[in-house]
Structures are given as C-alpha cells and as structure tokens.
C-alpha cells in the first residue's frame, strides 16, 4: 500500500487541536507556524520498557510525536528486545519494513509468504539488515538469553498499522466467538480459554 | 494497497508462455490478438469442493482464467460454505473485499482492526453485503448446520493475496520454530504438535 | 484510476452531518463510534425498479448506504434487467468493473476500446463473468424477451462515476448546443430534437 | 487515473525494437545510450491536416516521437481547428486535460459531468485556458467560420487514451449491434444506417 | 510523484474562504455552486514581467486562479524570457514538465540526471517540445540577445513546487550557515557574501 | 513520489542477469528460487570511507545488495560523517527521508522548502530523529571536529535518487555552459573555473 502523495512540500500535523471531524488523513497547521522542531523527535532515544509477556517494546514515530512526518509516507521505529524477548508474529497492513540490528548478538527474524506459506528465516548480527515484505506476518526473536538487543526499522507508510496475531485472534474486543477459533485452529474451547488466560486476559 | 494503474486500455495477460523472466506484473499478448473471450470466464459458475477440514472453498478470477483482468485492479471470487463451514481467519495484504450473500440462510462475518483489536461481527442473509477493510484479518462462518451457502466477493486488486492464519502460523514451510510460536501464543510444544496434527500436517 | 489509499484501517463515512465544507474525500466518524453495522448494507437485496425507458436498474453501494466502504477503493452493484432491458452504453471514468450473471438466461455484454474502436462482445449465462476495462464505454443487454436477469458487479473505486452516453450527449443540463451534436454525429437539428424527445426530455 | 510512478530518473522508450513481448508499460533503452534528442520532438511544430469530416486534427507527443516522456506521466498535444471545425465529443479515460488557445478568435469548449449530466461551456480567446476533468466527455468547436484556430494542451498521462463518441458508438469494429444502439439512443435502424453513412463508413 | 487521485468528477477549490484549518489538499465548493468559469482562466494570456535579475517570468495556473484544476493532477505555465533571459537552474519536486516554444528564435534547455550528473542539452525553435524529467534540476536560456521568447509548459501535478537553486542555496530564510555552503561548494565566506549580494539580498 | 505498488508478495530482483532489455522496474527471479538471504544484507555493517572532499559516506541498500527490497517501496542507508564532515546539499527526487543519529555528539541537519525558501535547521544528539520532506534540498553536518558520527536513514522509495547540488551544478557531464551558471548564480567565469577546480574536476 502506498500512502496518498503530497500536494505541497509538507503538511505538519496539527497535534494541538481536539478534532471536531475526521477524514482519511491529518489536519495540518498553518505553514506560517511551522518550525524546525516539528520535523524533530527524541522519542526513539531511550530504550522502551520490555517487562511484558513478550519481552519486547516497539516505539515508533507518529504524526503526534513527529508532526512533520505527516504525508511523507514513512515511519521510523525502535525495537527493544529483552534477553530471549520476542516481537510476536504480526503484520503491517499498510507498509513494508526494513530493519537493522544496532545492538545485540543474535536476533532471529522471519516472515511467511501467502501463496505456499513459505517461511523465510535469518539470523542477524549487529549491522545486518533484513526486509519484511508488505502485509506479511513476521517476527523478531532475541536468541541471546543474557543480552538485550536493539534494532531500528524504517516503514513505508506514516501509519503502517500493526495486526498482532495473538491479540487479533485470541484477545479481540469482544472475543472472536469460540466456534470461529475452534474451526480455524482445530482447537477445543478449553484450549482457547487457556490461551486467553496465558495471554493475560 | 492500490495496484499500479494502466498505461493503456487493457493488457491481456499472456497465459500461453512459459515465462523466461519475471517482474512486478504480467506479460501481455499483442493487442492485435485480443478477443472477447479474454475478458470472459465461467470459472465461478460451479460450486467449489467444500469437502475439506474447513468446509469451504473460494474460487477466484485470476490473470490466468480471466486474462483481461490483468492491470484492471480487481478480482471476483465465489465463496462456497458447506453447512457449518468456515472460511478461517485470513487477510488479503493487497486488497479490500466486499461480499454479498447469494444463497444460504445465515452467515456470520467479522474482522478485527489493528489499533485496539476491536472485533466487528455481523450476520448476513441473502442479499446482504459486508465490507472487509484492506489487510485486516476476517472470517466467514455458515451458522446453518443443514444448508450450504454461497457468496460473491469483489476485491480491489488483481492479486490481493491471502494469508490464512492457521496455515501461516502452524503450517508454514518449513515450520516456524516452536520457540517463536510458544512465545507468540503462550502455548506449549505439545500444543503446537497437536494443532499441527489436527490441521493436517 | 486508483482511489487514494488508506492511512488507517478504515474511515467510516459520516452520513449524519450536513457538510459545511467539501474536499476530495469524505468526512469520517470518530473511530470510537464505529459499529459493525457501518460495514453492512441490505440495499442490494431487493430487485431495483426496471419500469423505465431502458428497462434496467443499477443499485450500488455508496459511502452513504455502506459507510465502511469509504476509502476502501471498491463498490458493489446489483444490476437488474427487465426482459429485453438494457443498461445503455456508459463508462465509469474512475473504475474497472467485473460482473457475474446471477439470474437470467442470456445477457449480451460488450465494450469498445479507444485505439481502433474495436468492439468486444460476449454472451453470458448464469455464473459467467466478464470484465469491462476501466473508463471504456460498455453495455449489458438482456437478450431474453421473457425472463428478467440479475447480475452482481464489483468496481475498483468507491465512486467510479457513470457517464451514460445518451444522457451526456442528448440530455445534458443545459443541452449541448445543437451545432456541436450535429457536427459530432452528422445529424440534423430535427434528428436531435426527435432523439431528445424519445429519451424523455 | 495516475500513471505508475518512476523508479529511476527516466526510462527512455525503446522505439527501435519490434517487441517480442508486451506489458503494462514500455521497454526502455540502456541509459548509457540516452541522448538529449530523446527528450526532444518537433512533431507539434506544424499544423495538422484538418481536411476531414470534423475539420480538426490533434497531434500528440507519444513515447514513439518523444521517447523521454515514457514514465513521466504527461503528454502534450497540438489541436488544429479549421474554420467551423470541431473536436467532436470525446473522453480521455486516463487523463485530465488543460488547454490554452494560442491562435484563433473564438473557440467554444465544454464538458459534461456524470452525476447530473451538467454541461459546462466556455468561450476561449487567445491566451485563455480551460481544464477538462479526467475521464469526462468534452469538445472544442471553432465558432469562427473564417479563421482557423490552434490550441496547446497538457494531459496528465503518457497515454491518456481517446474515446471519440461518434466512432465508439457508430463506427466500432465490428459495429455495435443495432438493437443496442436503438435501445440506447431510442433511434431506428434507418437512423443508425444513415448516421454511419454520414460518418464515413 | 503522482497527486492523489479523484474520488469524484471534480472538486473545485474554494478560494473564497479564509481557511480555519489545513490538510494535504484543498477545500472545495459545494458542487451545486460550480460554474463554467471555475474551469477557466485568462491568467496566462499576458506576458509576465521579465525586468528582474534573471530576465524571466513564469506564470502558472493554480487552484486559486483555476479552481477547477484542483485534484486534476496538472498545471499549465507560461514562461516569458527577455532577450538573453534565463529561467535559472531549478527543480519541481512533485512534477515532470513538458514545454513547447511558442515564440522566439532559439532557446537552450537542459537538465541534469542524478546518477552520473549527465547533462542533457537541446536548442529549441518555435514548435519544438522538450521534456524535463520529474524532480531533476533544469534551466531554459534565451540565446537570442535581441528577441524575447515565450513557451507554454504542462506539469504533472496541481502543485509541482519549484526549488530554485540560487534561492534555496544562497537566499534561504534564514541563510544556510556559511560553513555548510563553504563545505558544499568549496567556496570562501567572502564568495558567499558576494554571491548573496549579487543575487539581491 | 510513491513507487508503483506490488502485485505479489515480493519480486526479488534478479541480480545475476546481464539485462538484454530495460523497463521502469527490475526483473525478478522465479519465486521458486527465492531464499531468505535475498531479504538480507550486511552491506551497512561497516563504516563507509569518509576520506573524500566532503568527509562523508552514504551506503544504501539497493535492489542489487538487498534484492528482496525490490518493489517494496523503501531503502535503508548508513551515513558516516568524519569529524567536521558534511553530506552536502542534495535532494532525493523520489523519496522522503527519516534519519536517526546513532553515534556522535552533535550533527546539524537542515532543509529548505520551495515556496519561500525557508530554512529549517536542527541539532541532533544520539537517538534524535529528523525528517527531510520529499524532494527538498537538505544537508547533514558533523559539528564535532574531533568525533565521527553515524546515522541510519529510512527512505520511502526503492530508488530515491540523489541530486547532489555541487555535482549537478558545477560538475555535470558535460559541464553546464558557463553562461547558464553565471546567470543562475551571478558569478563570473573565473569563479566557475575556480569552484570546479576546488570540487576536484
């Protein structure tokens, strides 16, 4: 998917307003009020909190913390993995992703394509780059049980979205009816109940 | 996602050739060889075979059976559901989908969005229409245990792709490493083994 | 033509508001107010009224009756043809169309390309599919003088537009100056007057 | 419609080759063989021949006479109108058009929109500019019965296409079945025969 | 770059309003208020004032003087060159440009590509056409020291933008720090001061 | 600018072939020959050589070193700045850029917009992010005369292009005629000669 293109040099998102209306885009500030700081953020400068059930944290630029990125068709993300931590299977409906390992020893990355469900897997060392094709399920796993890891990613949309497979399947709001999950995964109602419990809800 | 647009009236896919090269698109036949039949197919006219573990079958137009659809940015599909059958959770990375129930009594449809994992669910009777937003996980379930159902869908790409959640997660080739699935779904290695077995592989 | 792409999962059209402004798109409702019904419509479930000069009726999904289709890049249509009825020559400036005959015995479909004005014509039986390339003039004619016909179509835009040739040429508001029509079609002023009268205006 | 965008600075069309295959685009020459002349043409420098049934001639840049325009998303055209000449009703499926009258005294231009068939008409003097929205039927008529006129147009596609209404409706190859035209325009078979004869075929 | 495409026949820019908000696009007027004049402008009909340091003037259509061009993906421009005048090196970030020399004797045009900085140069006589690829630096120089020249250009965006090299480098607001210019061009601080002075600021 | 979108999950560039033809895109390998390594590169893992007249080096992913990035709409780059080094004024015609400082103490970044030539400047510390809007001239300068700096950038095209202002203006092949540069920058022939010499050619 490709974000709609620019009709002007930039359209700095207006983060101050409480919107009274919505549309497929973001309101922008008057260009005469634009300053350099609108194109700047330090929100990726600190490690994210990885003390959660997956042991990972992803911090992204958004039109809120980087208003100048509005309508520019890209996002940057910082991925922190605790020792043994995982960014679980997920997809970005609206963007491809290219990731570089900055810190760590060995991170496994992989994705699955749609025609034959082929899995592509690779191990990254610092400085290594991997690309996750647009819209496909992928994951990152820190194989090192003692050292944390950090990666930087570029994504090809200002709002790529993130459909996290365990959340979407087992922790939707409301829950997907059991019958659908039983028939989808060939599991039992007790399996579903147990998985939901383990996932925290 | 939006397919690249046309630079000509049509570009009828050349299905006769064994390609000696590949690119992001399809080779087309010489326009002087184009006939009406290239824009025609009867491949959706018969019910698909629903005697499988999900009790459903989806037949789509493709550039192979409908060569005139190449570069036109759309696909049509016929969905057959056996009594109690399901089109399991899946997404189309490159297309949105609008579906109309043609035959049947009651089909449940639903999808999950990415921000808060909200589930949207609806029950369809014949003539009812539902839209699945682009790239989001969705399903169709025939609630009638006695009557089959048939639906027709339009999709907004010539090749929307189909990432089927159970296949992508538990039946990829090769298998996604157990550690990734255990950490993603908080299940055990035995769970994974059992689910794979039940899914047929 | 390809609709501008999504910057979010969905942007459900706000049909309640009387707009105080307009732009190339639709206002959407606050995502917290979105419900399943916004992605649902039964507006294609009943046959349209075909008692008009052409003996046909096309009912389409729109952002008004299917607000969840906004920004998703597609439309679904139901085409009803009375015995001998016709959807007269028309084009969709912003969309391609794929149509499947659901009910009827024999419907003739065709379109004309722009380079050499080649006509492509086909006869459809129920279950048959045909694709009309984007922006080209096409028609559907129910060859059966006794039985009505119904078709379902997918179009590759949320608002493909419909330029109906007889209306655009002979029934525009105001009328196209006679001199233009005489020189375009090589007809006389009386011809034009008569044609307009026969077309109902 | 928007042409697919560039993945390089330019992709100069290869006009020397007899293609052995086709695709939605043009083959380009090796960039090391590109010269300035590929971006140049004098094909619009002479008046076109207007001694035909419409009294007009349109000469356009194409990827053949201006190979450097390939993949650049635009076309330029020269429109010559004999005294009283007309560019008959036509549409460009894949492009909008902006036209400026260079020479002449008074040219009427107009187009019809699709929702209510509203006609927009204007008279141009030299230096005046008019824009024809994408995909809509439009015409140009030289109101001066003694002086010729010349206009220059820019179009927003490398191959906008041109569906000329009289040709598409009455002079397609093969002819559109009379029944379709009779029902579309509410004319008789004799009318159709006469119109075809007057249009030259 | 390709402007976002239309979701309607046209979206005539609302030039009367003082905007209370901004977005990547233009507000449009209610379609019921659209008249032919919105698609018309005479703003290119008179020569522009070329009595400036470059001896040139470019007048373009905009959504302000040609409101009907909004969302149509194109612009037309009139370029006037005094004897010996120049349109200095500049680029259009969001559009390609095709230009035709209407009046004059000999105008040199050229552009530079990005891979190897190859320069493509051509001399135009009246009626000659040249295409400047999208986003690349280019210029037009009237080689005739006695006769003025006029050209018409089509550009593939409603707002292609214009980054004029001397202004962007030496006359930005505020000035680019001397250190950046010294290191970029390998010039001295005095050079920079002198160039700025000569450029008028 | 937005790269044409995917019609398949991925289209891994075929880097082995010496092309016998060219088009606006890249040839891909047979999907059955795709392996994980095609989505992987270590080409950004080592510092680039900064011993040149600017004291900087940019290493990017390309379809050659990261074939899986073909058609995915993005590029990743590693920018190395020597103490006091500069990435001189340049633009990316086909992409926006988001950059994060990984290593260093203080790097000045800035860009110039096209309407009023406003300069936006910022100083980055490690972890800070800045976005350069698409197609606009920008620079990066290492303000630290003792410590080198390294940044990682994401760009929104598989081939954004890079028009380096000093190269394009003063070192094109062949040279831009002196008259053009004199009139563009208001410099003398001797200035031009000297600048070219200082720039190394």
* Cα dist from D121 to D113, D118, D132, E62, F110, whole Å: 12, 10, 11, 20, 48
All chains having 3 or more CB pairs closer than 8 angstroms to chain D: B, C, E, F
From chain A, the residues in CB contact with C12 under 8 A are none
Strands (E), C4-162: 40-41, 56-60, 75-81, 86-91, 97-103, 107-112, 119-124, 129-132, 138-142, 149-155
Asked if E24 lies within 8 A of A31 by C-beta distance, the reply is no
Binding site residues of E for Mn(2+), as ranges?
90, 92, 97, 138
The Cα F128–Cα F107 span in angstroms is 10
From chain B, the residues in CB contact with D94 under 8 A are 5-7
CA angle F155, F159, F164 (to 5 degrees): 80
Per-residue pLDDT tens for C47-87?
999 999 999 999 999 999 999 999 999 999 999 999 999 99
The Cα A155–Cα A159 span in angstroms is 9
The Cα B13–Cα B17 span in angstroms is 10
Residue D2: pLDDT band (50, 70, 90) is low
Asked whether F74 and A130 are in contact (CB, 8 A), the reply is no
Closest chain B CA to residue D74: B7
Asked if A24 lies within 8 A of C28 by C-beta distance, the reply is yes
pTM of the model: 0.95
Beta-carbon pairs below 8 A across chains B and C: 181
From chain A, the residues in CB contact with B2 under 8 A are 1-2
Asked if C102 lies within 8 A of B98 by C-beta distance, the reply is no
Smallest CA–CA separation between F161 and chain B, in Å?
A: 20
From chain C, the residues in CB contact with B42 under 8 A are 125, 127-129
- Please give the distance of CA D116 from its chain centroid, rounded to a whole number: 24
Residue A1: pLDDT band (50, 70, 90) is very low
The Cα A21–Cα F19 span in angstroms is 52
Asked if B25 lies within 8 A of D21 by C-beta distance, the reply is no
With CA atoms as reference, report the closest residue to C140 among C49, C56, C200: C56
Residue E1, pLDDT score = 45
Smallest CA–CA separation between F103 and chain D, in Å?
A: 31
Closest chain C CA to residue A158: C7
The Cα A48–Cα A41 span in angstroms is 15
Q: CB-side exposure of B181: number of CA atoms within 13 Å?
A: 22
Asked if E41 lies within 8 A of D129 by C-beta distance, the reply is yes
Asked if F7 lies within 8 A of B4 by C-beta distance, the reply is yes
| ipTM of predicted complex | 0.95
Asked whether E73 and E15 are in contact (CB, 8 A), the reply is no
Q: DSSP secondary-structure letter at E94?
A: T
Smallest Cβ distance to F129: which of A5, A41, A136? A41
List the 23-42 stretch of F: residues with Cβ below 8 A of A. 31, 34-37, 39-42
Smallest CA–CA separation between C126 and chain E, in Å?
A: 32
With CA atoms as reference, report the closest residue to D93 among F60, C94, C103: C94
Residue E20, pLDDT score = 85
Smallest CA–CA separation between B8 and chain D, in Å?
A: 7
Mutate to test the interface with F, among E22, E108, E162, E168 (most CBs of F within 10 A): E168
Instruction: Count the Cβ atoms, other than its own, within 10 Å of residue F46.
Output: 11
Query: Does residue E130 sit in helix, strand or coil?
Result: strand
Closest chain D CA to residue B32: D22
The Cα E14–Cα B99 span in angstroms is 37
Q: Is C97 annotated as a binding residue?
A: yes
Smallest CA–CA separation between E70 and chain C, in Å?
A: 9
* Cα dist from B201 to A24, B172, B198, D174, E183, whole Å: 43, 10, 7, 55, 63
In this model, does residue D178 exceed pLDDT 70? Answer: yes
Percent of chain C scored above 90 by pLDDT?
Answer: 90
The Cα A195–Cα A13 span in angstroms is 40
Q: Which residues pair with A123 in a beta bridge?
A: A108
Quote the mean pLDDT of chain E: 95
In this model, does residue E158 exceed pLDDT 60? Answer: yes
DSSP per-residue string spanning B110-162: EEE-SSS-BEEEEEE-TT-EEEE-TT--EEEEE--SSS-EEEEEEESSSS---
Strands C75-81, F40-41: pairing is unpaired
Residue E174, pLDDT score = 96
Which residue in the block uniquely carries the two structure tokens 């058609």? F71
Mutate to test the interface with E, among C17, C21, C161 (most CBs of E within 10 A): C21
Quote the mean pLDDT of chain C: 95
Beta-carbon pairs below 8 A across chains B and D: 46
Q: Which residues contact E117 (CB under 8 A, 6 or more apart)?
A: F164, F167, F168, F171, F172, F173
Strands (E), D66-195: 75-81, 86-91, 97-103, 107-112, 119-124, 129-132, 138-142, 149-155, 163-164
Smallest CA–CA separation between E190 and chain D, in Å?
A: 36
Smallest CA–CA separation between C107 and chain B, in Å?
A: 13
Q: Is F38 annotated as a binding residue?
A: no
A112 touching F (Cβ < 8 Å): no
Asked whether A91 and B163 are in contact (CB, 8 A), the reply is yes
Smallest Cβ distance to D27: which of F3, F22, F158? F22
List the 53-72 stretch of F: residues with Cβ below 8 A of A. 61, 66, 68-69, 72
Which residue in the block uniquely carries the two structure tokens 């169709």? B140
Smallest CA–CA separation between D62 and chain E, in Å?
A: 12
Closest chain D CA to residue F92: D9
Q: Which residues contact A95 (CB under 8 A, 6 or more apart)?
A: A1, A75, A134, A155, A156, A157, A160, A161
B179 touching D (Cβ < 8 Å): no
Asked if F76 lies within 8 A of A129 by C-beta distance, the reply is yes
Q: Tokens representing D70?
A: 């390939």
Q: Tokens representing F83?
A: 């103490």
Per-residue pLDDT tens for D37-75?
999 999 999 999 999 999 999 999 999 999 999 999 999
Residue D1, pLDDT score = 45
Q: Tokens representing E60?
A: 């373009």
Exposure b/e, B46-84, CB count within 10 A at least 16 = b: eeeebeeebbbbbbbbbbebbbbbbbbbbbbbbbbbbbb
From chain F, the residues in CB contact with D5 under 8 A are 1-4, 94
With CA atoms as reference, report the closest residue to C199 among C170, C165, C163, C164: C170
Asked if B24 lies within 8 A of F14 by C-beta distance, the reply is no
Q: DSSP secondary-structure letter at E118?
A: B
Say how many residues make up chain B.
Answer: 201
Asked if C121 lies within 8 A of D169 by C-beta distance, the reply is no
The Cα C20–Cα E29 span in angstroms is 10
Residue A2, pLDDT score = 67
Smallest CA–CA separation between D159 and chain E, in Å?
A: 13
The Cα D53–Cα B54 span in angstroms is 64
Q: Which residues pair with E149 in a beta bridge?
A: E81
Residue C2: pLDDT band (50, 70, 90) is low
Closest chain B CA to residue C117: B9
Residue E2, pLDDT score = 67
Q: Which residues of chain F have a pLDDT value below 70?
A: 1-2
* Cα dist from C201 to C31, C194, D46, whole Å: 45, 10, 44
The Cα D21–Cα D5 span in angstroms is 22
Q: Which residues pair with F28 in a beta bridge?
A: B22, F13
From chain A, the residues in CB contact with C28 under 8 A are 22-24
Asked whether A171 and A131 are in contact (CB, 8 A), the reply is no
C158 touching E (Cβ < 8 Å): yes
* Cα dist from B161 to A1, B74, B95, D68, F70, whole Å: 13, 12, 8, 35, 18
Q: Tokens representing A127?
A: 């400085």
The Cα C55–Cα C144 span in angstroms is 12
Residue B1: pLDDT band (50, 70, 90) is very low
Residue C17, pLDDT score = 79
Asked if E1 lies within 8 A of F171 by C-beta distance, the reply is no
Smallest Cβ distance to B133: which of C1, C10, C61? C10
- Kindly report whether the peptide bond that precedes residue A88 is cis, defined as omega within 30 degrees of 0: no
From chain D, the residues in CB contact with C53 under 8 A are 186
Mutate to test the interface with B, among D24, D74, D75 (most CBs of B within 10 A): D24
CA angle B16, B21, B27 (to 5 degrees): 45
- Kindly report whether the peptide bond that precedes residue E174 is cis, defined as omega within 30 degrees of 0: yes
Per-residue pLDDT tens for D114-141?
999 999 999 999 999 999 999 999 999 9
The enclosing H or E element of A189 equals helix A189-198
Residue F2, pLDDT score = 67
F134 touching A (Cβ < 8 Å): yes
In this model, does residue C1 exceed pLDDT 70? Answer: no
Q: Is A38 annotated as a binding residue?
A: no
């Amino acid at each position: 998917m490709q974000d709609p293109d620019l009709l002007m040099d930039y359209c700095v998102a207006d983060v101050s307003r409480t919107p009274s209306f919505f549309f497929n885009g973001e309101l922008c500030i008057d260009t005469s009020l634009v300053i350099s700081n609108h194109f700047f953020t330090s929100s990726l400068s600190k490690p994210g909190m990885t003390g959660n059930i997956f042991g990972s944290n992803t911090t992204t630029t958004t039109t809120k913390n980087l208003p100048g990125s509005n309508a520019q068709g890209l996002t940057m993300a910082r991925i922190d993995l605790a020792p043994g931590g995982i960014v679980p299977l997920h997809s970005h409906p609206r963007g491809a992703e290219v990731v570089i390992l900055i810190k760590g020893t060995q991170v496994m990355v992989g994705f699955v394509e749609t025609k034959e469900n082929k899995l592509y897997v690779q191990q990254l060392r610092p400085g290594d780059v991997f690309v996750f094709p647009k819209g496909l399920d992928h994951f990152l796993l820190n194989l090192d049980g003692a050292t944390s890891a950090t990666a930087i990613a570029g994504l090809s949309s200002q709002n790529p979205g993130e459909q996290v497979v365990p959340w979407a399947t087992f922790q939707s709001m409301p829950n997907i009816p059991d019958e659908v999950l039983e028939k989808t995964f060939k599991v039992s109602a007790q399996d579903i109940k147990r998985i939901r419990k383990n996932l925290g809800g």
